[in-house]
A and B are shown apart, each in its own frame.
Chain A
Amino acid sequence: MKYTIAFNYLKLASGVFVIWAYFWMVHPVIIQYMPNFANYLDFVQKNNMDPTALYYNDVPITKEAEMNNRDAVRLTAPKAK
């Protein structure tokens, strides 16, 4: 019984280690060989963006984008060709 409990905690610790090693050790190394990903990451962090946001009202830039596009559409009186 004690052996099983200890083994389960060992499994948990191993799982945490694998996740930590992947995200904090392996992934950054992989990205070093992918300049596009590195540039993208740099852009996201510099501009304080959150790619994990779920919904449009969690993304502040949407407000600005909506106003910009609405005004563009309104002022140019679009016509289908």
Chain B
Amino acid sequence: MTQEIIQPEHDDNVVIDQAKSSWSDLWTKEDFLAIWFGLLFCFLALYLYVLSYPAQDRADAVEKIGRANAVMEAEVAMTGGLKTIAYYEAQASKVFKAKPNDFAKSFTVYMKGPGKWKDNPMDAFVLSKEAADAMSLKNMPAFEKSAANLAKVYEEAQLAESAAKMANFEDADLNADAEQKINTWRTSVTAHKQAKAKTNIKPFNILTTLPILFLGLGALFAFGVALMGEKPAKFFVGFAGLFVFAIIAVTLGSQTTMKGYGVGKEAWAILIGMLIANTIGTPKWVMPSLKVEFFIKTGLVLLGSGILMDKIIAIGIPGLFVAWVVTPIVLIVTYIFGQKVLKMPSKTLNIVISADMSVCGTSAAIATAAACRAKKEELALSIGISLLFTAIMMVVMPVVIKALGMPEVLGGAWIGGTIDATGAVAAAGGFLGLKAMYVAATIKMIQNVLIGVTAFGVAVYWVAKVDRVEGQKVSVFEIWHRFPKFVLGFLFASIIFSYYSGQLGTELSSALISAGAGKGMLSPLRGWCFTLSFAAIGLGTNFRELAHYFKGGKPVILYIVGQSFNLALTLLMAYIMFYVVFPDITASI
């Protein structure tokens, strides 16, 4: 029996192209080039931040962690569960900083984009020494006030803890009072740190570093374009326009009020890009630089370095159930609902919206769109819907949770499992309280890690099931030919970094991998790749095409139905896991 699969015609409009395997693919296809480029930076960051970390410093850190853990254990054993001031001070001593060399520090400096601004957009680019000093001085009274407040709440926390201790930590009211006052002190510590940082504002001028960044990114991707057999000079000229447009989008997304609304650089890139493309038209000289797929795939391989598998047990089995059991169920049920009930005309749009809504918003949408060959318009539409509902949910959910008198842990788990955007989850959780913020952020982090599994699963399902002729079998070779190879780079980066994360342990992994290699190199680079891709999506999207996908409002109905199911199932699972099966964990958080 002849085995055949559907071979869709080549379409420049899709997020991923199709591949026919040959050895030259390794250096001519964008999937592989994205892998090599992404992994090059992953290994560089791994070397600079993890492998070159001095052995003696690592041994000292391990010893310090051991001592801190011993103090924490002793405190919990003494109090029967109440976390004392000494407990939190020991915990704070486990926070380490990476020690990047000069090259790594320079890399971080040159990756910087426009910063925050309120009234004048130029504040995002330049801050003179005089202005920085004046701002620091202006913030001094607030810092002094926060220091006085910190001293006051610290004393209150000490008194409350002493009272609880006098009763051998057996008086529930005294324990509750001590817990509340210690939490107030912890919140004040965070506020004090922020106030302190505002008294030490450093001058900057990214107008001198942005041209270097442009040349670096332009040269990198132009080299890739040349290997793909296209004209690098034309790409480079167009890239100048794309880069300037991306800077405008980042600047708009950095405005403090817009950030608060949840309208970030991605939304601005799509919105303004579409406006230009559909009015005056995208300039022809910019068109060769609109390599949406190349930017996305490179960004996704870099994102793989943040998919650390040891994160999934950060809050024990309850977190695993809320984030890793509910999420796939919601994803699959929403997709089936879209196909069987709504009869969505596009399976790719259906799965991208389902993943965006159930997993973790934009980053999941990007990974899924690339894995299933979704069109640019489909990705833009699903992100637009997600941003709209995120903006609503991040405000409404804390209000509803407070109105219902829901416990913070339950509320935090509910927020973490349902609001799409990771930043919005932390903000909404924080609005409820410290405990809710910790639970919400941790649940979302565990859900973030699911992106790798989702992208791999969708890629396999698409090549093995969706793209084949009904009733015909697909050989393993055919699956390999059509499999989006960049997913392998994405998973490889995840495996490598997960291995080192496991070796280092939570505290050192946070310092060297998340805050070091991630924050210092890979996250900013990934951010630029995604911003460039969104700018390219905006400049290449046709309103009519977008309206075609929006027909009948089915994408919005799909999102609302899926999100409603997500809200109900997440709340039920969070309640069962945190309050029925594992109340000990809940009490300890």
The interface of chain A, by Cβ under 8 A from chain B, is 5, 8-9, 11-12, 15-16, 19, 23, 27-28, 34, 36-37, 39-41, 43-45, 47-59, 61-73, 75-81
A-B contact list, 16 entries, CB within 8 Å: A12-B275, A19-B272, A23-B258, A41-B257, A41-B261, A49-B427, A50-B264, A51-B421, A52-B266, A52-B424, A54-B363, A56-B311, A65-B439, A66-B311, A77-B584, A81-B581
A51-B423, A53-B421, A80-B582 given; A36·B76 CB < 8 A: no
- B441: chain A residues at CB < 8 Å are 56, 59, 61-62, 65-66
- B587: chain A residues at CB < 8 Å are 76
Q: Select the stretch in B172-180, B234-242, B514-522, B548-556 that faces chain A.
A: B514-522
Q: Select the stretch in B35-43, B99-107, B151-159, B393-401 that faces chain A.
A: B393-401
Closest 3 CB pairs of A and B: A52-B264, A53-B423, A76-B588
Number of interface residues of B (CB under 8 A): 84
**A36-B431 Cα distance, complex, nearest whole Å:** 11
Q: Give 10 new A-B contacts, CB below 8 A, not counting A63-B514, A78-B585.
A: A15-B279, A41-B257, A50-B427, A51-B390, A52-B421, A54-B266, A68-B91, A72-B588, A75-B73, A76-B81
Contact A55 B422, beta carbon cutoff 8 Å: yes
Closest to B514 in A: A57
- A76: chain B residues at CB < 8 Å are 76, 81, 584-585, 587-588
A53-B421, A57-B523 given; A67·B506 CB < 8 A: yes
**A48-B439 Cα distance, complex, nearest whole Å:** 19
Contact A43 B431, beta carbon cutoff 8 Å: yes
Contact B519 A57, beta carbon cutoff 8 Å: yes
Contact B399 A36, beta carbon cutoff 8 Å: yes
- B424: chain A residues at CB < 8 Å are 51-52
Give the Cβ gap from A72 to chain B, nearest Cβ, in Å. Answer: 4
Contact A71 B395, beta carbon cutoff 8 Å: no
Return the contact of A70 from the options B81, B265, B314 (Cβ within 8 A).
B314
Contact B506 A70, beta carbon cutoff 8 Å: yes
Contact B588 A67, beta carbon cutoff 8 Å: no
**A49-B362 Cα distance, complex, nearest whole Å:** 18
Tell me if B244 counts as interface (CB < 8 A to partner A): no
- A66: chain B residues at CB < 8 Å are 311, 314, 441-442, 445, 506, 510
A54-B421, A57-B523, A75-B72 given; A67·B362 CB < 8 A: no
**A81-B438 Cα distance, complex, nearest whole Å:** 24
- B514: chain A residues at CB < 8 Å are 57, 63
- A69: chain B residues at CB < 8 Å are 314-315, 319, 438-439, 442, 589
Give the Cβ gap from B192 to chain A, nearest Cβ, in Å. Answer: 13
**A47-B423 Cα distance, complex, nearest whole Å:** 13
Give the Cβ gap from A54 to chain B, nearest Cβ, in Å. Answer: 5
Scoring A19, A70, A81 by chain B CB atoms within 10 A of each residue's CB, the highest score goes to A70
- B265: chain A residues at CB < 8 Å are 52
Contact B584 A50, beta carbon cutoff 8 Å: no
Contact B260 A53, beta carbon cutoff 8 Å: no
**A23-B258 Cα distance, complex, nearest whole Å:** 8
Return the contact of B430 from the options A54, A55, A61 (Cβ within 8 A).
A61
Tell me if B339 counts as interface (CB < 8 A to partner A): no
Give the Cβ gap from A44 to chain B, nearest Cβ, in Å. Answer: 5
A55-B363, A75-B73, A76-B584 given; A12·B263 CB < 8 A: no
Give residues of chain B (491-536) contacting chain A, Cβ–Cβ below 8 Å. Answer: 506-507, 510, 514-515, 518-519, 523, 527, 530
Closest to B581 in A: A80
Tell me if B66 counts as interface (CB < 8 A to partner A): no
Give the Cβ gap from A76 to chain B, nearest Cβ, in Å. Answer: 4
- B272: chain A residues at CB < 8 Å are 16, 19
- A47: chain B residues at CB < 8 Å are 191, 194, 430
Contact B261 A68, beta carbon cutoff 8 Å: no
Contact B438 A65, beta carbon cutoff 8 Å: yes
**A24-B422 Cα distance, complex, nearest whole Å:** 25
- A77: chain B residues at CB < 8 Å are 584
Tell me if B253 counts as interface (CB < 8 A to partner A): yes
Tell me if B562 counts as interface (CB < 8 A to partner A): no
Contact A71 B72, beta carbon cutoff 8 Å: yes
Tell me if B485 counts as interface (CB < 8 A to partner A): no
**A9-B5 Cα distance, complex, nearest whole Å:** 47
Tell me if B563 counts as interface (CB < 8 A to partner A): no
Tell me if B580 counts as interface (CB < 8 A to partner A): yes
**A9-B95 Cα distance, complex, nearest whole Å:** 54
Return the contact of B279 from the options A11, A59, A75 (Cβ within 8 A).
A11
Contact A78 B423, beta carbon cutoff 8 Å: no
Return the contact of B395 from the options A27, A36, A78, A81 (Cβ within 8 A).
A36
- A43: chain B residues at CB < 8 Å are 427, 430-431
Closest to B423 in A: A53
Tell me if B280 counts as interface (CB < 8 A to partner A): yes
Tell me if B94 counts as interface (CB < 8 A to partner A): yes
**A34-B391 Cα distance, complex, nearest whole Å:** 14
Give residues of chain B (274-328) contacting chain A, Cβ–Cβ below 8 Å. Answer: 275-276, 279-281, 303, 306, 311, 314-317, 319
Closest to B577 in A: A80
